[in-house]
Chains A and B, each alone.
Chain A
């Protein structure tokens, strides 16, 4: 092996390397992107689960919007007050308060109510909803297609014994993704402090509700009378809690004859479970 081989090979690669190096450094000057370092810092503070609660495409876009468009800093639900405080420190702004919100599924009878037909297609409630108006007889109830369960970025939605989805409140970050996926609009974001909910969305008349589901609001109005704060009203045969007036006393829970009002503090199991042994199998 002669010395020329070494010289030629190293020389050729050296020249190539220098050529490409110069070209790349020139193009990096041309294609330079000015980035505010605060965007990177804020995006590191944010939880980076890309839940969409803030309304931006991702945590990075939100960080960008905070720096460049002076967006509010209290939009990050999963991060809560802590994140807001950190961003406030970084940006030299006053921290805004965040009310922690959780999702509530306003139905507890999906697995108990009467079925219209046996569905055996694609398991997604947005699709089931399109097949003859859904597979459950109740026109308002959960279709058990679990679109909410799949959409949850933190796996806070689980199935209970009746295969009915429910939200684990401690895990829920209040991003609202499930709210948008539910084809029957059963899910609502409420403040975490309000722990009493009416788990039914049926606007049918009481007699019709009883026919199809054992855990549906029959519109008797007992809770409306029982409520000391006038927080419950009847809307088309359905009792609805006005959360701005509700003081979470729990009086309505006791009077409800169908036990569809549910107090999260007392019972971590969905009402459907207690009912299973009583009546459901005959329906």
Chain B
């Protein structure tokens, strides 16, 4: 595995195929927790952790348990089980170490379980790297970078939303409407990366 491949993975999952801006996965916490930067950061770190560990474990699970026993049709159930366990672990960890962050994330923390970006990266890993060499390292890295991409999206959005507080917005556009429009505009801006050849 060369440095070039790692950089290609990084550019691919953070910018070119960003899970929020170009794949449109995991939009629920993206809109829900991006009101202020600190909780967006917290959510970003939680998602990075869950995505990285979930990618590593799901790849092992798929390669060494589901394929040998010919159980690949169980992948959705098995992956959800893994992700749910890790989210549960993150929640306990946060409650113990960062109670304030745990409170500010609220319902969105357990909702990482159903965050389709996490399941999405797990599926992407097994389709892309199933038979490749260094598949484990690649899928773990891809999970990590996808999490970074998610965090980047959260940070951009929360920064813009904090400034939106001061803007003069027409009455019918206030609240979520302007947030959706903003999300669309950022997404169009990220389309500019789609021509990248790596």
Contact = CB atoms under 8 A, between A and B. Distances in A.
Interface of A: 8-9, 12-13, 16-17, 20, 23-24, 27-28, 31-33, 57-58, 60, 122-124, 127, 150
Contacts of B165: 150
Given A122-B166, A123-B166, A124-B166, A31 B82 contact: no
Nearest to B61: A16
A275 B99 CA distance: 54
A27 B69 contact: no
Nearest to B165: A150
Max count, chain B CB within 10 A of own CB: residue among A20, A32, A58, A150: A20
Contacts of A32: 96
Given A31-B95, A57-B100, A60-B103, A12 B81 contact: no
Contact of A33 (B61, B85, B95, B100): B95
A128 B89 CA distance: 48
Nearest to B103: A60
B3 interface: no
Given A8-B71, A12-B71, A31 B92 contact: yes
Given A31-B96, A33-B95, A122-B166, A16 B78 contact: yes
B169 to A, nearest CB: 10
A282 B65 CA distance: 85
Given A13-B74, A16-B78, A33-B96, A23 B166 contact: no
B167 interface: yes
A122 B167 contact: yes
B92 A20 contact: no
B79 to A, nearest CB: 10
Nearest to A58: B103
A17 B99 CA distance: 28
Contacts of A23: 85, 89
B24 interface: no
Contact of B92 (A12, A16, A27, A60): A27
Given A31-B93, A123-B166, A124-B166, A20 B81 contact: yes
Contact of B65 (A12, A28, A33): A12
Interface string B27-52: 00000000000000000000000000
A13 B69 contact: no
B88 A13 contact: no
Contacts of B168: 122-123
A13 B85 contact: no
A32 B92 CA distance: 8
Nearest to B95: A33
A61 to B, nearest CB: 8
A8 B103 CA distance: 41
A9 B93 contact: no
A104 B13 CA distance: 54
Interface string B141-182: 000000000000000000000000111100000000000000
A74 B69 CA distance: 65
A233 B66 CA distance: 85
Contacts of B78: 12-13, 16
B198 interface: no
9 contacts: A8-B71, A9-B71, A13-B74, A16-B78, A20-B82, A20-B85, A23-B89, A28-B92, A57-B100
A127 B168 CA distance: 13
B1 interface: no
A8 to B, nearest CB: 5
Interface string B90-119: 001101100110010000000000000000
A193 to B, nearest CB: 35
